[in-house]
């Protein structure tokens, strides 16, 4: 299963974002494909926080429109949301200790652990920080 990180969702949604066209193509390809794919719940929350934030975008996305975008992605027959579940704490502890991340990077460790706990083979992200998590294959599809 493939998972999508927040930055790809933001870039795909916002026409004024860097890499918009490329990210939109990636998200569309994943959503229209037959391979199972997922969005971790923390990435959906972060997507909503970023696109509606007036300090990030001069004309932020209205919350209703952002929520409609999320619903649209999740209408894909092969889409699912993933979160913490059974075995998460043990996986999170391993990821955190192996990567030696601290502070704000703990958020990325959380996403990595959610992916690993839910059987994600590959996380698509433009964030190089995911390379710190050896057990999770992360790839930047915008390169």
**pLDDT tens string 41-88:** 999 999 999 999 999 999 999 999 999 999 999 999 999 999 999 999
Structurally, how many domains does the chain consist of? 1
Write down the residue that tokens 């918009």 correspond to. 20
Helix (H, G, I), strand (E, B) or coil at 139: strand
User: What residue numbers bound the domain in which 74 lies?
Assistant: 2-139
pTM of the model: 0.95
Question: What value, to the nearest 5°, has the Cα angle with vertex 65 and ends 62 and 66?
Answer: 85
Say which CATH number the domain at 76 has.
3.40.50.1010
Question: 95-127, pLDDT tens digit by residue?
Answer: 999 999 999 999 999 999 999 999 999 999 999
């Amino acid at each position: 299963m493939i998972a999508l990180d927040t930055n790809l969702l933001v870039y795909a949604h916002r026409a004024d974002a860097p890499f918009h066209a490329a990210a939109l193509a990636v998200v569309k390809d994943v959503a229209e494909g037959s391979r199972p794919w997922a969005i971790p719940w923390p990435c959906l929350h972060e997507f909503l926080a970023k696109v509606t934030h007036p300090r990030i975008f001069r004309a932020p996305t209205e919350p209703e429109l952002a929520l409609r975008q999320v619903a649209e992605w999740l209408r894909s027959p092969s889409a699912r949301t993933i979160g913490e579940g059974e075995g998460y704490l043990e996986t999170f502890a391993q990821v955190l200790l192996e990567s030696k991340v601290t502070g704000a990077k703990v958020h990325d460790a959380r996403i990595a652990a959610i992916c690993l706990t839910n059987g994600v083979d590959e996380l698509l992200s433009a964030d190089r920080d995911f390379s710190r998590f050896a057990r999770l294959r992360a790839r930047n599809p915008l390169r």
